[in-house]
Amino acid sequence: IDPNADADEMTARRLAESFAAYLKACKLDERALSTLPPGRFLMPGDLEGSPALTFAPLAGIDDKRPRAGSLHAMMDRRYEAYKTHVVKPFFREHITRLDRQIVLIDAMQALNAGPGAMADLERAVTEILSCFRPGRGSFLTDLFSRRIDRILVAATKADHLHHESHDRLQAIVRRLADRAVARANFTGADVDVVAMAAVRATREGTVRQGRETLPVIIGTPIAGEKINGETFDGKTETAIFPGDLPENIDAVFDVSGADHRQDSAD
């Protein structure tokens, strides 16, 4: 795609659809990436198909002012409109009057995908904390009338682990939050962590494997979910050994090391 070509609505729509499909693919379990803006491309709601979401990043552009009437100029204009008419109103109406904030993260999905996904989750939390940092001078922080003084980073889906592993999950999230706070140069607010589940979808049990007794979780995987090569129909209950989280917390974030995925077994 030539960014200097004349602006064309069909080309813009095709690029936006491809970009949205790319973001959705990045969010799947295989990659489990978290830093996937713009967020409304994943959850468009009433904006689906509107010009507000009909833009995409372009390759081969520079810092020069785009030619009027070009595809580059169209994309630049629509992205700025997205920030003005979608992002800013959301912050103004829902965030700016708060002094406390809960940040929900899917640490389980990232842990299963490996250190690369965990590093990306850390980047996402860093960017979120940066939005709450006073004095940064961004188009978001300038909106804040109150200072966020307490933030809770909550790892969801704790019911996908046996309770024996909850402390280790919380320790991993604590390390992630501490690293994100340091990277964002975020001070002046208390940041705490917790492992939780909004809905408990499993129960705990044990199974015998030879002479060993394994802690398992029992539940019904969603239709189409794959575990150990088996695809479930959404109706069959099964017992799953979720594996042990790594003892070496630093290894969880080491993208140069081995893949520290959880091993799951029926």
Residue 166 structure tokens: 């909850």
Mean pLDDT of the chain: 87
Res. 5: pLDDT tops 90? yes
**Residues of the chain above pLDDT 70, percent:** 91
pLDDT in the model for residue 263:
43
Closest to 203 in 3D by CA, of 225, 219, 220: 219
As a whole number of angstroms, the distance between CA 171 and CA 150 comes to: 19
pLDDT tens string 110-135: 998 999 999 999 999 998 888 776 54
Q: 9-27 and 71-82 are packed helices; what angle lies between their axes, rounded to 10 degrees?
A: 50
Phi and psi at residue 44, to the nearest 5°: -70, -30
3-state helix, strand, coil in the chain (%, to 5): 40, 15, 45
CA end-to-end span of the chain, whole Å?
48
pLDDT tens string 48-96: 888 899 999 999 888 889 999 999 999 999 999 999 999 989 888 887 7
pLDDT tens string 202-261: 999 999 888 888 899 999 999 988 887 889 999 999 999 888 888 888 888 888 764 444
**Residues of the chain above pLDDT 90, percent:** 57
Over residues 5-19, mean pLDDT: 96
Question: CB of 95 within 8 A of CB of 145?
Answer: no
In this structure, are strands 238-240 and 212-219 parallel, antiparallel, or unpaired? Answer: antiparallel
Question: DSSP class of residue 70?
Answer: B
Residue 72 structure tokens: 């580059």
As a whole number of angstroms, the distance between CA 198 and CA 201 comes to: 9
Helix (H) or strand (E) holding 122: helix 115-131
pTM (global) more than 0.75: yes
As a whole number of angstroms, the distance between CA 171 and CA 157 comes to: 15
Over residues 136-143, mean pLDDT: 55
As a whole number of angstroms, the distance between CA 251 and CA 49 comes to: 42
Question: CB of 151 within 8 A of CB of 186?
Answer: no
Residue whose structure tokens are 């830093």: 35
